[in-house]
Amino acid sequence: MGEKTREIATLNLRGTAYELPVLAGTENEIGIDIQKLREKSAAITYDPGYVNTGSCKSAITFIDGDKGILRYRGYPIEELAGKIPFSAAAYLLLFGRLPEEKEFLQWRTDLTRHSFIHETLIQFFEHFPPTAHPMNILGSMVASMSAFYPYDAEDEQHIMLNIKRLVGQVKTIAAFSYKKSIGEPYIYPRSDHSYGANFLRMMFATPAEEYVVPEVMEDALDMLLILHMDHEQNCSTSTVRMVGSSQANIYASVSSGINALWGRLHGGANEAVLNMLEQIRQDGGDYKKYIELAKDKKSSFRLMGFGHRVYKNFDPRANLLRGAVDRLLSELGIHDPLLEIAKNLEETALKDDFFIERKLYPNIDFYSGICYRALGIPTEMFTVLFSIGRMPGWIAHWLEMREDPDTRIQRPRQIYVGSPLRHYHPPEIAPWDLVKQSKLF
């Protein structure tokens, strides 16, 4: 979790030296503890975007961006994605260990049992306009769950029950929102289906005939959800922690994460990749033209899906997903021209000095959109799928924050750059007095 070491960092500020404790993480990450900095010196740090600021100590996810490493609870992502079901990975993230056989069977049963939406809450779908974005619906519905499932914040059993409801129902809400958008009846979960198979069935089955979920689709969805499950203190996870630090309930906290993920620079990136590939396809598939546009400083075109804030090497999630996409398309017999464009873009960019020098490697968004497309998921649902995968991660961080004795309500400081002190000298007749006298209000 990170402990104070005997090592001390010294800050020299305006002739005074301030000693600050140093923290060392499990993987030898180094952090300077500045909790007492303002108290001792009246100074604060300035770090736009908090890219150099550690907001907490966490035992959930480890990332080494330079080496392309991602681990959940100590397990390399390569040993989990494609190897275990999503529900088992969710258990790992939430409880810190992989489940035993009986625990897994009970966990899977509980997730199915609690995946049914409150019948009154289902009526909410009828009041969203047809043009409502699925992420808008998802965030609103999750926030509304707190009205239907109140709980005692001090009762661990109540908290666990609501965790199961959140993980179980998020996929049902997502599938129902899709069914509503196309005017088809809702399909309810089945206890003999896995988490991923239940979602695909609720998305694509109809009451008129039996629907068998192809195993290759179930496996691909499990991998996608696991790869999206957590990624340290990203924008949406930090939002969940910030809202939760006020002791807001779990539904309000997670709903805030959904809204943060909706941003096009966060969860909306895979949708942007697909739109870019479609733009290139409609332009005759001339990917080389767009490679050159991406290198042109005068061009507004941006090559989506390349580069990452954290990874300065290959994104390990992208490496895993690239192979999964090939298998999925091959087994389903799908020939997707967008995939050909994507492969050509990747191959060309990886040989181009412009991209090599800037370490602009493909990230997970580059391939996840193609994979969702092969599964038949509409483009506007991509970020919703991201939310389903990220749900266990958000909850794990909410739990960890809640149990951390160092947790305080988050309240960042600022550097004020506005007007210095000035005074108001009222005129004889102020504009608002004239408006009032005119009886306009």
Which H or E run contains 167?
helix 156-182
Q: Is 308 a catalytic residue?
A: yes
Catalytic residue (one of 219, 315, 365, 397): 365
Ramachandran category for residue 305: left, alpha or beta (phi over 0 → left; psi -120 to 50 → alpha): left
How far is residue 78 from each of residues 38, 72, 75, 205, 359, measured CA to CA in Å?
42, 10, 8, 32, 22
Q: What's the CA angle centered on 220, arms 78 and 133, to 5 degrees?
A: 115
CA pair distance 221, 230, nearest whole angstrom: 16
Catalytic residue (one of 230, 308, 315, 397): 308
* Helix boundaries (H) for 183-263: 195-204, 215-227, 235-244, 250-261
Q: Is 404 a catalytic residue?
A: no
Residue 194: strand, helix, or coil: coil
Q: Tell me the one-letter amino acid at 219.
A: D
Q: How far separated are the first and last CA of the chain, in Å rounded?
A: 60
Query: At which residue do the structure tokens 């809202």 appear?
Result: 243
CA pair distance 323, 321, nearest whole angstrom: 5
Q: How many C-beta neighbours within 10 Å does residue 96 have?
A: 13
Write out the catalytic residue numbers.
Answer: 308, 365
